Structure 1
């Protein structure tokens, strides 16, 4: 295929490209970048869990760390193999598991209610700028332990980071002039002295717990700031996009909004269905560790394979009516958070944030409706909204 998956046409709407790719077979050759592409659910899922054959340590972007120097220290979670991957992953998994997050639940529910109260007098809002970007930046950095000054840096930093996983195109150039300044700010927040010890009721912040793990010897002191950086790199943008996606879905599917109002337990299902349906993280690369036969093709050792998570999440071989946002569906098994040992370690945090916000919204508003033309924000890796104008009708 000669199409450019990082070009503006496909970034605006990848559905036709994904459909054509799936129809061609389990793997296709993307001649523009001399890489392979994989878009069917079963093949993407199998590759993601087979880290021995499809490795992340050579980078989850187009750049191949076997032959190129990374522009920043590689992620200990996303871009390393066992055993180097194991200790940082184990530390964060313990800090961010469902049971450990219970102490934050009541506080986040109260924060969500406060934000929704602020919206009640406005009615017409931008779901991205006024809701989806606001709530994660309000609660997540608090949980990590960073101060309030400069939090807005996290969004352009994350945007550039995810752009940099693709080719060096105009999207990368757009953020290049600030990345030195933004990276320096982020790394400064990862140092022990910059992090608060407590978030609420004596509960240690995520950052404090990471540094405590270094004190115990679970990870090294050199690894600790990189583990904190992993939270700040991927813990805000993806949640912002997931919340944007579920609000967009409700604006187009009023019956699904009513279903959550009638049964708030569906809030988490709605968020996961939105992650499947919209796939905020559209792609990640893997690298073949040997010659791998896939269908009628052999992917040579060292070649990059682009995993199209968004395509897999709408593969009709796996999902009935995949283009429909449907809360009667069980969306578990989607690959929107990845899969296998490199699956998103912060997915429970994102679900808790989304649940708190959605329940608060359903309690106060009878309906969400689109009031203008939404506009996409293009990113080499992410599927994002720039604006999402909506009207909120009070209950």
Structure 2
């Protein structure tokens, strides 16, 4: 029996924020994988090493967590006024599935550096020393992200003293602006798809919960930690080591997705793992982060814990941070109330790995809440570059 040899595909392995993934230039992909479809999905799954019934990604580039099972495809932008198109695929770990329904806010911070380093930005715009502004079209959700990337000696500056909780080493700071981040393409066509800042979410067999259902950054279901029997200071083992708790959250997520108009039937949630997210909030209180660092209540405005791909995230998804900042800026949401209520343009929240500050500018227009942009800082770094190899008959 003959077997197809492996093929080489140029790629870069990058960390962006508290995530990492495999980055490709669209033109470097095999021709049949340059368009959406089964071939592209199969290729990316094979790159990551999915589906893996062992849950380890031993035979691929994935890290067997929602934060590390990611692929990104970058191309010259098809949109006026933008530099690059950014397409993100969240690869399922144990099932044959790539979720294209949302963005990754953390990996968004690596898109600008990748674009500069790979010749997708006009060299005339790159100073010897300074900052390059990269306008990114987020193709999954049709939104604009503006990245401010530091440059030294004409190249992307990756090292620095900016510290991000959830990332071991400091690096250069990259400021991101998520413009008009409310997701008006789905659900009720508004930031709050039900028209309410707080809803009663009825989940048969589980209970009825107060919930803020919001489309901003990424569709998110916010719950009150105390309604779930939690304090809001939980770390990963408290949630992820309890199958019943995880099943409860997935049931809540599925019913919330229906309520938000993202799916029509509960069973469809299994094929939409990336969105919506589900998170729970609580007022500020002292706690110890997963690193052992003590966080004082006075240093944060509230606590937020969020689940991604069925597990509690080790830090915070960047897109969920946009949702947090947006909801916090709107008086009356569960996030705003947990932060103490009132008007605010920024919050610092506690998550399992530490703290994060995010700002948002929201306003009420003709009875509808709108947000012009959300701002936060991240960092990014190339971990490895060259080529990935996959069997030629695997896609």
Shorter-chain TM-score bucket reads under 0.3
TM-score computed with the length of structure 1 as normaliser = 0.26
Q: State TM-score, norm by structure 2.
A: 0.26
The higher-RCO structure (CA 8 Å, 6+ apart) is: 1
User: Which structure shows the bigger proportion of residues in helix conformation?
Assistant: 1
